[in-house]
Structure 1
Amino acid sequence: MAARGPIEPPGPDSAVYVISIAAELSGLHPQTLRTYERMGLITPGRTGGGGRRYTHRDIELLREISDLTASGIGIEGVRRILDLEHRIAALVQRNDELQAELAATREALRQAAAARRSDAPPSRLPVLHQPPPNPGQPGQSVVVWRRGR
């Protein structure tokens, strides 16, 4: 008999829990899980035969829905809260991406400025091209507004 290593628990996105286990883990009735699915609050995975399979993230979401409804928030309020939470998460992720891009751009500019100050031959210097302004074309002008005092 071959020795086996420790069994790895399923990842948070592995759809492994059947509806009865998901209901038990979330503290909800299986019919409530079906209702939340019909309402679009949760979308479990499906087996080839059509059986529902829930992930750990699904169960955490079900617990959050349960907590919100238990605190007196209506189902439409829950839907709105979940939507806003998803939007916040997407904005935080996008902000992180933009921060990384900004840091990379600043570093590239710092390196370009350092190279420009060095005695390196001009052929090795990075060239930043900016086309001359063409006021005759729409969308090519910059207007700066200053509020009056």
Structure 2
Amino acid sequence: MKLPMDDEHAALFTVGQVADMLQVRQAFLRRIDDHQVVSPQRSPGGQRRYSRHEVGRIQQVVTMMDEGMTLPAIRRIIELQHELAELTRERDELARRLDALGEGGGPR
């Protein structure tokens, strides 16, 4: 049985918990959500709930801001990282299909 703590995308943490974990202000977390840099899930009551994956992403944002990057630049970097991951998955799937066709003993 898979527990919620085992799922890095399970929304487990409140704004206050994440702020304490990462030593950032709650207003900072709300700001990066408003700028669509890291947007957590919402509880049925509308409160932000963060997953371990999102906490890791926030750590990246803090590091990039410490290096002098703006939130729009950080959002674009994150978008490009996501696009690159998608393209890599597609490439790997196509390579797997080509390998399977080659192993099928088709015409050469």
Deviation of 1:54 (Å) = 0.3
Higher relative contact order (CA 8 A, sep 6+): 2
After superposition, the C-alpha distances for 1:18-55 in whole angstroms (9 at most, x for unaligned) are 11111122332111111111111112111111111100
The two structures, once aligned, show a CA RMSD in angstroms of: 1.8
CA distance in 2: counterparts of 1:49 and 1:23, whole angstroms: 20
Match of 2:43 in 1: 47
Provide the identity percentage: 24
**Which structure 1 segments of 5+ residues have no match?**
1-6, 114-149
CA distance in 2: counterparts of 1:94 and 1:62, whole angstroms: 27
Query: Which among 12, 20, 23 is matched to residue 19 of structure 2?
Result: 23
Q: Does 1:63 align with 2:59?
A: yes
Alignment: residue pair count: 106
Match of 1:125 in 2: none
Amino acid at match of 2:85: A
TM-score under structure 1 length normalisation: 0.65
TM-score under structure 2 length normalisation: 0.88
Going from structure 1 to structure 2, the CA distance change for 1:93 and 1:44 (only over 3 Å counts) comes to same
Tell whether the 8 Å contact from 1:17 to 1:53 is kept in structure 2 after alignment: yes
Going from structure 1 to structure 2, the CA distance change for 1:112 and 1:94 (only over 3 Å counts) comes to closer
CA distance in 2: counterparts of 1:87 and 1:50, whole angstroms: 29
After superposition, the C-alpha distances for 1:40-94 in whole angstroms (9 at most, x for unaligned) are 1112111111111100001000000000010111222211211111111111111
Q: Does 1:105 align with 2:98?
A: no
Match of 1:85 in 2: 81
What secondary structure does 1:9 align onto? helix
Q: Does 1:34 align with 2:21?
A: no
Q: Bigger radius of gyration, 1 or 2?
A: 1
